[in-house]
Amino acid sequence: MGESLADRFDLEGFSHDWHRTGAAALTALRLRDYALVISDIRLPDMTGDVLFEQLLTEQRSLPPFIFITGHGDIDTAVRLLKRGAQDYITKPFDLDALIDKIHGIVAPEDASGTGSLGCSPVMRQIEAMLPRLAASAASVLITGESGVGKERVAQALHQLTGADKPFIAVNCGALTESLLEAELFGYEKGAFTGAVRTKKGVFEQAHGGTLLLDEIGDMPLSMQVKLLRALQERCIVRVGGETPIPVDIRLVCATHQVLQEAVIRGDFREDLYYRINVVELRIPPLRERSEDILPIAQHLLAEIADASGKPPPGLTPAAEHAIKAYRWPGNIRELKNTLERASLMSDGRSISHDILFDRPAPPLSGQLDMAGSLRDYLNECERDFIVHALDGCQWQIQCCADSLGISRKNLWEKMRKLEIVKGSDAD
């Protein structure tokens, strides 16, 4: 039966492992994330319910289980359903019925994305749209809070248009206007002091591939005019140069800002807005797609463990619960940093709640001052927390941004807004 199942799964395009004993399956289930397990109740070395119970006692998050039972085992199968198994099927069974059950549990890959960006309906929808976007030349605007995975989505789109072509990303918010112009369009030797040789800008580097302009909302207005011209004419001129150079790029822009509001405020050109925003992909914050949190966490844990050649640690039920309940203000970037730290500190087998959230609470010293507004109070908490984190990282911005789970730029912005300057605090 195993052989015919394996043959049929190959035909269906399912990737699968066939373990011939309960012990082999146990080992594999401890090491790999499966989307689904199909197990006979009677195995050569143990029973399916012993296998299932064993995994439950190890407090792992289990994939859905479908049990195959003979008529005499139906009581066991029903008991397993009560213990959390997904379904059972009785022998002799129709293979088509089993395939239907599998499709009902594991969404078919081509209908709504593979789930590599997340398994929530919204992320599957975005993933399912990518092949259509890849087939058109339309400019795509990806919006969402910092760390939600905007660049990841841009890369996924790029992969569909030819992974061998260049993918170049540039952060438009991190550079001053003159540096940005040189970065985007390149410069000729001698164009300015320090221009000792001719350099291609990102438009030329991305020729034939994808150019991601990140934080496009932070681009100065005067640069927006130059960008618009380059996009309209499909040509750039290097700083200090005169010759127009044709460029063929797929443009993807990303921002955490609401660009319509920036247009209304006069901070973003309306004509550029329409040019870059032929299609908008809105990525919701992680807290609004909580069904993505655990799968992404497990994927990240596997990735982190893989980098050091170890099997991924599991999450204890309390840790799983907390990870789902936490709001992740820094989104996937914060989740990734948290898991990296927790992986380092764990015993390699499981990550508990304490290890996961060992961050100190904001020091709310003394009595609460009820005189100010809630905003003032929250700013004060945020300020304390950031200063504390900066102290912990000897004021190294990158280290602190990583520990807070926000981008370096975001940290700079917060420091500016909250007037945090090294040495300004009495302590």
Report CA Rg, the chain.
26
Minimum gap (Å) between residue 211 Cβ and ligand ATP:
15
Q: Provide the CB-side half-sphere exposure for 324 (13 A, CA).
A: 13
Cα dist. 284→150, 259, 289, 292, 308 in Å? 10, 16, 7, 11, 31
293 binds ligand ATP (CB under 6 A): no
Residue with Cβ nearer ligand ATP (42 or 287): 287
Given 3-state DSSP classes, what are the helix, strand and coil percentages for the chain, each rounded to the nearest 5?
Answer: 50, 10, 40
The one among 140, 281, 332, 401 contacting ligand ATP by CB under 6 A: 332
Interface segment toward ligand ATP; rule CB under 6 A; list 23-31, 70-78, 144-152, 355-363: 144-152
Minimum gap (Å) between residue 336 Cβ and ligand ATP:
5
300 binds ligand ATP (CB under 6 A): yes
Minimum gap (Å) between residue 331 Cβ and ligand ATP:
7
Minimum gap (Å) between residue 197 Cβ and ligand ATP:
30
296 binds ligand ATP (CB under 6 A): yes
64 binds ligand ATP (CB under 6 A): no
The one among 333, 346, 411, 420 contacting ligand ATP by CB under 6 A: 333
119 binds ligand ATP (CB under 6 A): no
Dihedral sign for Cα atoms in the order 269, 274, 277, 280: positive
207 binds ligand ATP (CB under 6 A): no
The one among 85, 133, 141, 148 contacting ligand ATP by CB under 6 A: 148
Amino acid present at 245 = I
149 binds ligand ATP (CB under 6 A): yes
259 binds ligand ATP (CB under 6 A): no
Cα dist. 45→27, 55, 223, 303, 389 in Å? 14, 16, 70, 32, 53
* Sequential DSSP letters for 150-167: HHHHHHHHHHHHHTTS-E
Residue with Cβ nearer ligand ATP (204 or 214): 214
411 binds ligand ATP (CB under 6 A): no
Binding mask 385-404 for ligand ATP (x = CB under 6 A): --------------------
The phi and psi torsions of 133 (rounded to 5 degrees) equal -65, -40
Neighbours of 408 (CB within 10 A): 15
DSSP state of 359: P
| Residue 258, C-beta contacts closer than 8 angstroms, at least 6 positions apart | 143
Residue closest to 418 by CA, chosen among 372, 369, 378, 361: 378
Cβ-closest position to ligand ATP: 149
337 binds ligand ATP (CB under 6 A): no
Minimum gap (Å) between residue 413 Cβ and ligand ATP:
11
The one among 250, 336, 383, 414 contacting ligand ATP by CB under 6 A: 336
Interface segment toward ligand ATP; rule CB under 6 A; list 92-100, 140-148, 321-329, 413-421: 140-148
CA-to-CA distance for 237 and 65, rounded, in angstroms? 60
Neighbours of 305 (CB within 10 A): 17
Enumerate binding residues for ligand ATP (CB under 6 A): 117-118, 144, 146-152, 214, 254, 256, 296, 299-300, 332-333, 336, 407
